[in-house]
Amino acid sequence: MSFSATTKEELARLSERKSCCALAELAALVRMDGTLQISSNQEYALNVTTENAAVARKIYRLAKTILGGQVDIVVRRKLRLRKNNSYLVKIYPRGVEDLRCFGLLDENHQIQPGIAKELVKHRCDQKAYLRGAFLAGGSINNPEGTYHLEIITNDPSHADALCRLINKFQLSAKVSTRKHWYVVYIKESEHIVEFLGLIGAHHALLEFENVRVFKDVRNQVNRLVNCETANLNKTVDAAVRQMENIELLKDTVGLAALPPALLEIARLRIEYPDASLKELGEMLQPKVGKSGVNHRLRKIDEWADKIRDRTRTIERGE
């Protein structure tokens, strides 16, 4: 089961403590996945479709709790692609007032754009509405991959309203288009964690955090290993170059021609080719710091470069 599916399973099992929260959550589910059916005798039916059985059960439970009237579930078997079951929850509002209650119609009985303010007056209602919206059209990437949470809707005004509602909690949500869909998304891992906490997905939050911490530690270890490897390669390359220069001086002018300080560090480098600058400095009497050792070795490099330049000049016959 995907991380999105397990998150929705957890959210679908949550019980609503307040009637206002239950209404807000159901209103979001209806707004996201529902269609309004009007019969010839002006009877209404809200058809809410989902492929998640747990979400279908929650819609049924919320509708029975809030309306107390007839609610039906129809299970359909898809014949194409993955052939998953599709669940149609039919809710029968008692009239226009119930439709206004769900935030579908305004006071003039016109289609309500965005989110009705009455549904999200309180902080708990706002969280419940976001929970319903995520259950209906949300998804979240497995935290092992890239961090991404989104809610998809086909209504641009509802997408903008959802984005504004999420950003009341300072979660930096944005809206983009994908073909004929409108996507409200969050990218920052910290904000995704906060969103999961807001909508009540605490087990998913802990799992997300565990994976995120593990990834952060692993990435930090990899960075340290890469840094150490780069430093080691740099040290080895420098030591090889220093040994070549000392051997060149030994074969040409002789090490005895070097000043005492350079002669001492040259002999130590020959004896300890793998030692670091710090280790070489501690072997000197008196001890010398890394910068001092590096200065002496650079002087040896300069001597060797001068000998190479002189040799090239002689070879060219100048």
pLDDT, tens digit (0-9, with 9 covering 90-100), for 255-286: 888 888 888 888 888 888 888 888 888 998 88
How confident is the model over 122-135, as a mean pLDDT? 93
In this prediction, residue 79 has a pLDDT band, given cuts at 50, 70 and 90, of low
The torsion angles phi and psi of 31, rounded to 5 degrees, stand at: -65, -35
**Alpha-carbon Rg of the chain, whole angstroms?**
36
pLDDT for res 77 = 75
Q: How confident is the model at residue 149 (pLDDT cuts 50, 70, 90)?
A: very high
HSE at residue 241, side-chain half, CA atoms within 13 A, is 16
Q: Is 183 helix (H, G, I), strand (E, B) or coil?
A: strand
What confidence score (pLDDT) does residue 193 get?
93
Say if CB 155 and CB 184 are below 8 A apart: no
What's the whole-model pTM score? 0.71
pLDDT digits 0-9 by tens, 153-195: 989 999 999 999 999 999 999 999 998 899 999 999 999 999 9
pLDDT range class, residue 127, cuts 50, 70, 90: very high
DSSP secondary structure code for residue 15 in this structure: P
Per-residue exposure over 9-22, b if at least 16 CB sit within 10 Å of its own CB, e if not: bbbbebebeeebbb
Digit-coded pLDDT (tens) for 289-298:
989 988 999 9
What is the pLDDT confidence band of residue 196, given thresholds at 50, 70 and 90?
very high
DSSP designation for 45: E
Dist CA 17 CA 124 (whole Å): 10
Q: How confident is the model at residue 83 (pLDDT cuts 50, 70, 90)?
A: low
Cα–Cα distance between 153 and 164 in angstroms, integer? Answer: 15
Q: What tokens were used for 91? A: 């809710």
Annotated domain spans of the chain:
3-200, 216-315
- Mean pLDDT lowest among 196-200, 203-207, 236-240: 236-240
Q: Report the chain's mean pLDDT, rounded to a whole number.
A: 87
Q: Do residues 52 and 12 touch, judged by C-beta distance below 8 A?
A: yes
- Examine the pLDDT at 129 and tell me if it is beyond 60: yes
- Per-residue pLDDT, 222: 85
Query: Among candidates 106, 110, 115, 109, which has minimal Cα distance to 157?
Result: 115
Give me the architecture of the 3-200 domain, per CATH. Roll (3.10)
What's the pLDDT score for residue 80?
A: 64
In terms of residues, how long is the chain?
Answer: 318
